[in-house]
Amino acid sequence: MSISLSAPTPVKAATATHCPYCALQCGMSVAVDETVTITPRKDVPANAGGLCQKGWTAGELLTSGDRLTTPLLYGEPVGWDEALDFVAARIRAVQEEHGPNGVAVFGGGGLTNEKAYQLGKFARMVLRTSQIDYNGRFCMSSAAAAANRAFGMDRGLPFPITDLGGADAVLIAGGNVAETMPPFVRHLTAMRDRGGRLVVIDPRVTATARQADLHLQPAPGTDLALALGLLHIVITEGHVDEDYVAGRTSGFDGVRTSAAAWWPERVERITGVPVARMRLAAEILADAGRAVILTGRGAEQHAKGTDTVSAFINLALALGLPGREGSGYGCITGQGNGQGGREHGQKADQLPGYRRIDDPAARAHVAAVWGIAPEDLPGPGRSAYELLDALGTAAGPRALLLFGSNPVISAPRAGHVTERLRSLDLLVVSDLVMSETAALADVVLPTTQWAEESGTMTNLEGRVLLRHQAAAPPPGVRSDLEILRGLAVRLRGAEGFPADPREVFDELRRASAGGIADYAGITYERIAAGTGVFWPCPAEDHPGTPRPFLDRFATPDGRARFVPVEHRPPEEDIDRDYPLYLTTGRVLAHYQSGAQTRRIAALNAVASEVFVEIHPDLAERLEVAPGDLLRVVGRRGAAEGVARVTPAVRPDTVFMPFHWAGANLLTNPALDPVSRMPEFKVCAVKLERVG
């Protein structure tokens, strides 16, 4: 099967590349002639010949009439020199008045490794600003923080995704892969076809939950209590792998003591999950010869998300899963380069190679690669929401350069974030379409998209992949690397910022060498010769590391660390005024803020409007019929959507997708104290019928 669309200017007839969307980075071939033809590749293990409808229709992005093809200055078309000269002059003026931190940079988890690296280098070397973060902070930061403190390393899946097919049990906490990344399901199907069992934890009866052998449906915001209850059962029922715990971990005594307080009956009162179903879930995991525990955004996007993930990691460690072939803990990374995007310098607290920016040795290494003094590197900056919240304030940045993100739709408390963006002295947005955020910008710079450029992506397995350019960009469009080069030349009076992605990647390899995420031995040629290379890969004769924890963990003593955690309620619980939980998520047809997928006719035909899922009991009580227009009201704003009455959602909960303006007007920006992740997944609301 293939899908053909009218084509842009061809580069060559057929190119092996990867999908522009999620972190599976499914392999596809793009043939460009009179039409664009997309065919799934069978040689990429993540999808092995499958694609979802987003992947099948991705070629339509290349021919969309909504493409931006010329820079815009205050909404008027201008030439590139005029646009870049203006931006450079305004940056100088802002920094002269407000200092280096008067200018901020905001990136995205969909940028290639080369662009993520260059963006971090540009911010710290050219602008000398500490104010840089990215939308991946909203995606996987809690899982990353928990994995770092348990294992000493954050890699979404520290094993190949194909290991799932050989497992005897898989537990997914807060992930709906059947809708967010459908080809993932083939690995779960392979597991179940072998007699394995799937357990899903989710407040909704999602498409993934419907495929599960056991579905646990907790109240939103109570995943941590449920994980503690499962651990309590594993301990009291004698399922702990004592030899593994003694030989490969530390800190279990503290966790054993804290878990004693979370007996199943107490957890049932908090979560609503029956004790019998908790016991069955624990038994399924304990009886499996090989088991995997996975977390997704549903468990992670909370003000206690890091502790929630730690609780599931503690459960996995007690069962002896991490570091054993065919078993383990992993995080289902969301954005296309959610893994690589945070490894090489976009995050406020990190330098390339997953180095800490406050580590003197890390600063010295990266500064040497960049040819500057370590003291010239700024220190840590604000996290994503804190950065957006500070824009335009007396103590915050007065200018923002934004690449690959659409925070008007995707940020929590989005109405407030929109106000902050409007208050800036300068907003520059690089994008391929006029997103809701780009519509606010003083300067809009039209950029290339996935099939019009080459570069590497790191998928959810930690496998570094190569996207090959398959089509020439429209005349007048430049890559983000070309944009950064143009600004760097104007602001520094020197170059040092190549636009060739291969040159950037070769420097990234040197900058990452010796770091946790070591890419030193990965080359374009090595990637192209196979199915990608797993990091860490410290030398060109190193095979890469598909399973990094088989012999030891990445901690100083080689042992995984148990971390005691305690459940606490949501930052904003329900009450008399706001008696319902709101939770948010994705739908099959759309991706992230929808800036791309909402422009594809076939996807809009499937999902074209904001909706509100409510339970039949709640609908009866409020006299709501399917199709009624509802207003969802919270403490930060209100949003409207069409009612969908379904038993898939709990009677105390409503669900809204976040691909359109609406849901994130309501979400709570309360932050996790470790990861600085906002509490997207639960806040208190009430419902009103419109009209």
Q: How far are the Cα atoms of 26, 38, 43, 52, 531 from residue 49, in angstroms, in the given order?
A: 9, 12, 7, 11, 14
Cis amide bond preceding 579, omega within 30: no
Is the confidence at residue 2, as pLDDT, over 50?
A: no
Is 72-138+337-456+472-500 assigned to CATH 3.90.1150.10? no
- For residue 273, how many C-alpha atoms fall within 13 Å in the half-sphere facing its CB? 31
% of the chain with per-residue pLDDT over 90:
94
Q: Distance between CA 5 and CA 38 in Å, rounded? A: 9
pLDDT class of 24 with cuts at 50, 70, 90: very high
Residue 32 has pLDDT above 90, yes or no: no
**How is residue 376 annotated by DSSP?**
G
Q: Would you say residue 13 has pLDDT above 80?
A: no
Tell me what the mean pLDDT of segment 532-555 comes to: 98
pLDDT at position 6 over 50: no
CA distances from 455 to 140, 508, 601 (A): 22, 12, 28
Q: What Rg do the C-alpha atoms of the chain give, in angstroms?
A: 24
380 pLDDT more than 60: yes
**DSSP letter, residue 440:** G
Question: Rounded to an integer, what distance in angstroms lies between the CA atom of residue 463 and that of residue 157?
Answer: 10
Mean pLDDT, rounded, for 478-487:
98
In tens, the pLDDT along 572-628 reads 999 999 999 999 999 999 999 999 999 999 999 999 999 999 999 999 999 999 999
Q: pTM of this prediction? A: 0.96
CB 483 within 8 A of CB 445: yes
User: pLDDT digit string (tens) for 381-420?
Assistant: 999 999 999 999 999 999 999 999 999 999 999 999 999 9
CA 304 → CA 170, 204, 267, 654, 681, distances in Å?
Answer: 23, 20, 17, 21, 11
Amino acid at 89: A
Q: Do domains 72-138+337-456+472-500 and 155-332 have the same CATH topology?
A: no
Q: What is the pLDDT of residues 324-352, one digit of tens each?
A: 999 999 999 989 899 999 999 999 999 99
Cβ(405)–Cβ(134) below 8 Å? yes
Options 3.30.450.70, 1.10.10.10, 3.30.200.210, 3.30.930.10; CATH for 3-63 is 3.30.200.210
Q: What is the mean pLDDT of residues 277-302?
A: 97
Which CATH number is 155-332 given?
3.40.228.10
The pLDDT of residue 118 is 97
Average predicted confidence (pLDDT) for the chain: 95
- 1 confidence band (pLDDT: 50, 70, 90): very low
The mean per-residue pLDDT over the stretch 239-247 comes to 98
| Per-residue pLDDT, 7 | 44
The tens digit of pLDDT for each residue in 628-670 reads 999 999 999 999 999 999 999 999 999 999 999 999 999 999 9
Name the CATH topology of 580-689: Barwin-like endoglucanases (2.40.40)
**pLDDT(488) > 70:** yes
Query: What tokens were used for 439?
Result: 């519509």
Ranges of each domain in the chain:
3-63, 72-138+337-456+472-500, 155-332, 580-689
Return the higher-pLDDT residue of 35 and 581.
581
pLDDT tens digits along 146-180:
999 999 999 999 999 999 999 999 999 999 999 99
Query: Looking at the predicted structure, is the pLDDT value of residue 493 above 80?
Result: no
Strand, helix or coil at 647?
coil
